[in-house]
Amino acid sequence: MSFLKFHKNSDGLNIWAVVLAAIFLAAPIAMAQSDYSKSVRGSALGDGFAALANEPGGVFYNAAGIGFLKGYQATVSFSRISAFNMAGAENPYSGLLGGSYYREGWGTFGFNAYQMGSFYSNTLLNTTNNVTMTYARLLNPALAGGFNFKYVFESNYGKRQAMDFDLGVLYKASEAVGIGLAVENLFHNEMIPQYGNDNRFLDRIARLAVSYSTEDPEEPTSFVSAIGVKQQELQGARENYGLVSVGVEQWFRNDFPLSWALRGTYNMSKEYGENLRQFAVGLSLRFNNVMNFWRIDYCFQDYPFEGASTTTGNHLVSAVFGLGDAGAVPSLTRNKSAIPSEEQLSQEYAALEPANPLSQSRRIQHGEALRKDYAQSSSDNNEWNKMNLHGRVEDLSSSRLTRYMFILQPGFSGRISAWKVFIHDRRPKPTGLENMEKRAVKVLSGQGTVPGVIVWDGKNKDYFDCGGGRYYYSLVVWDADGRIWRSSWYDFPVR
């Protein structure tokens, strides 16, 4: 449960354009290179966050990260930046307003508006603004790609501007391991028009990040690390600097209405030839509901250059809201209200029509049975007997956990010795049990009576997340005499 991590602050690159312009204009000013609240959680996790990047501000680390999000998220953040070593009465700040929205079949869209400046009326710092639009989507269930289009402009002294692109991919090698590759400011464009003798370019940064997360949904731990190259150019001199970042995040009590986390980072690099060493620590409080969450993040970043005490640094705070499929879902074992009681199940089953699945009550949310009852196909009707099925599928998924709850009651009065639920991602064809199992993306099974609630985590046989679309399921049971009974196929949406 250690929570220190190494972090490289690359998203404050455009901030340096502001600082150096102020240096050129008047007094010697030095400002700590920093993410400056573009993502408070990311600031406390460092460049390794590029292997997660699962929130709107994460696009500044890896544009592909929001490709794994569903529903929508919104965030607002504010940073009180240290004025150490600055001239006059500077009172620097930064702020971000951002969000992401998922549309089935289209992908995930993101928008972020960021500003850094100073509250001091006679400031020597340029106000820098960054408007970023993002598009990301899943290329397959384990791989997402995305890009940012950004417009950076100054709004007081220099009034310079530039446009550029970021590219990113994020690969879920397994449930536990993520690999992110991202390039920021792909074209390394110059901010124009030139301001005095100060030629400024958007810093190009390439990151390779890896994350490892434990598979404990209630108290997961994530370790992240990154290496990369940062290219900076000042007064015609171009320099390349390496960066190294490591860190960790620990969540507690994720299955409760209120959960919390600790995280930390340490990063090593250079900034215009000066050694940069910086640590950051952070914490979060998250208020969980079945389909949404609120999260409050805080981060402290120390001043990364020599000459300051360890208590000198930046204070960052943000609020993140997720809705739809972007929230946190408490554990079904603790969220008792999410599981119908036996009495409720009995009442609901009694309300369903017991005969043809095509005429079942509209309360069955997974949709009608397929128009053709494949259980009656002459090619396989000797293998099993037809069985009616009453029930529905509830979607209790979130950005962190996928949960589809099958509430099923087979129309079979005999004693059941075993059961299986076959889940397919394509319209089923007439076939035998062996082929049904081969073609299934997942088979849920058990012994004895079919339980009132069966939960599917949305993963296939290889433990990767299944992609969105329409899926199909059928229940098969074995009675005490070894005979096989099978329901019709039913469809339900997966987001």
Same domain, 237 and 136: yes
Is 1 part of a structural domain of the chain? no
Same domain, 343 and 318: no
Taking only the tens place, the pLDDT of each residue in 280-302 is 999 999 998 755 789 999 999 98
Residue 280 near residue 20 (C-beta atoms within 8 A): no
Binned at pLDDT 50, 70 and 90, residue 86 comes out as confident
Give the lowest-confidence range in 38-42, 170-174, 192-196: 192-196
* CATH code of residue 46: 2.40.160.60
Residue 33 pLDDT exceeds 50: no
Final residue in a domain of this structure, among 277, 297, 323: 323
Is 7 part of a structural domain of the chain? no
Same domain, 159 and 262: yes
**Checking DSSP bridges between strand 416-424 and strand 221-234, what pairing results, if any?**
unpaired
Same domain, 268 and 414: no
Is 332 part of a structural domain of the chain? no
Is 282 part of a structural domain of the chain? yes
pTM, whole model, 2 decimals?
0.65
Query: Which pLDDT score is estimated for 238?
Result: 86
Query: Which pLDDT score is estimated for 430?
Result: 73
Query: Which pLDDT score is estimated for 324?
Result: 56
Same domain, 272 and 142: yes
- Higher per-residue pLDDT: 395 or 6: 395
Taking only the tens place, the pLDDT of each residue in 123-170 is 888 899 999 999 999 998 889 999 999 999 998 877 899 999 999 999
Query: Which pLDDT score is estimated for 18?
Result: 37
DSSP string, 387-408: -EEEEEEEE---SS---EEEEE
Q: Among 81-90, 174-183, 248-257, which range has the highest average pLDDT?
A: 174-183
Same domain, 145 and 190: yes
Same domain, 74 and 110: yes
Same domain, 220 and 276: yes
Structure tokens at 477: 């049971």
How many domains are there within the chain? 2
Query: Which pLDDT score is estimated for 108?
Result: 94
Q: Please give the DSSP secondary-structure letter assigned to residue 349.
A: H
Same domain, 225 and 119: yes
Is 432 part of a structural domain of the chain? yes
Q: What is the mean pLDDT of the chain?
A: 79
Binned at pLDDT 50, 70 and 90, residue 222 comes out as very high
Taking only the tens place, the pLDDT of each residue in 228-264 is 999 998 777 888 999 999 999 999 987 788 999 999 9
Taking only the tens place, the pLDDT of each residue in 95-134 is 999 999 988 789 999 999 999 999 998 888 889 999 999 9
Is 160 part of a structural domain of the chain? yes
Same domain, 315 and 346: no
Question: Mean of the pLDDT values across residues 388-400?
Answer: 80
* CATH code of residue 412: 2.60.40.10
Residue-wise over 301-328: b if at least 16 C-beta within 10 A, else e?
A: bbbbbeebeeeebbebbbebbbebbbbb
Is 6 part of a structural domain of the chain? no
Is 144 part of a structural domain of the chain? yes
Domain extent, residue 102, equals: 13-323
Question: Mean of the pLDDT values across residues 162-183?
Answer: 94
- In the chain, the percentage of residues whose pLDDT exceeds 70 is 77
Residue 24 near residue 198 (C-beta atoms within 8 A): yes
Burial label for 404, CB within 10 Å (0-12, 13-18, 19+), is buried
Same domain, 161 and 279: yes
Same domain, 456 and 357: yes
Between CA 66 and CA 326 the distance in angstroms is 10
φ, ψ (nearest 5 deg) of residue 14: -70, -20
Final residue in a domain of this structure, among 323, 356, 375: 323
Number of C-beta neighbours around residue 359 at 10 A: 10
